[in-house]
Structure 1
C-alpha cells in the first residue's frame, strides 16, 4: 500500500509538472513520464492537455475509472478498506484533482 501511495504522490507531482508544461503553450509536444518500479506508471501523450493515458474526465492514472489510482485499477483500488480514515482524504484529493483538470 505504501508503494501505491508513493506512485500516487509521484503521479500527482508529475501531473502538476505536466500541467505547467502544457500551460506554457507546448500542448502539441508529447510528454512521456513514468514511475519506474511501480505498477501504475503515469504516462501522457501531451495532446490536448490530457495528463494520463486514457485521461478523459481528468483521471490520474491509466484506465482510472471510478477513482482507482493504479493502472487498470485491478486489485489496486484505493478504496479497499472502507474503515481506513485515509480513504476520505484520498477521495477528496482525487475530486480536487478532477476539479482542477476541468
Structure 2
C-alpha cells in the first residue's frame, strides 16, 4: 500500500519529501501516493519538505497539487455539462472513511 503509515503516521512520501529524495517523491506520486495524508501531529509531505529546506520537493508537490486541482475542476465542469449535480459527488467525497481495524 503506497499510502501505508508507520506508528507515527509517517508515509513513504513524507519520509522521501523530508529527505529531499526527488526521484522517490516522483515515483511515489506516479503510484498515486496521497500527498495530503497527515501524520499523527498533522504534518503532511509538504510540511516535511518545507521544514527541511527541500525546495525542489516543495516545487514538485505544489505542481502535483495544481494538476490534481485542475483535473478535479475539469471533472466537475463535465458533470455539470452532462446535467449531473456535482454537489452529490462532493457530499460523497466528504464522508469519512471507515477505519479498517
TM-score relative to the length of structure 2: 0.33
Structure number with the bigger relative contact order (C-alpha 8 A, sep ≥ 6) is 2
Larger helix proportion of the pair: 2
Q: Which has the larger radius of gyration?
A: 2
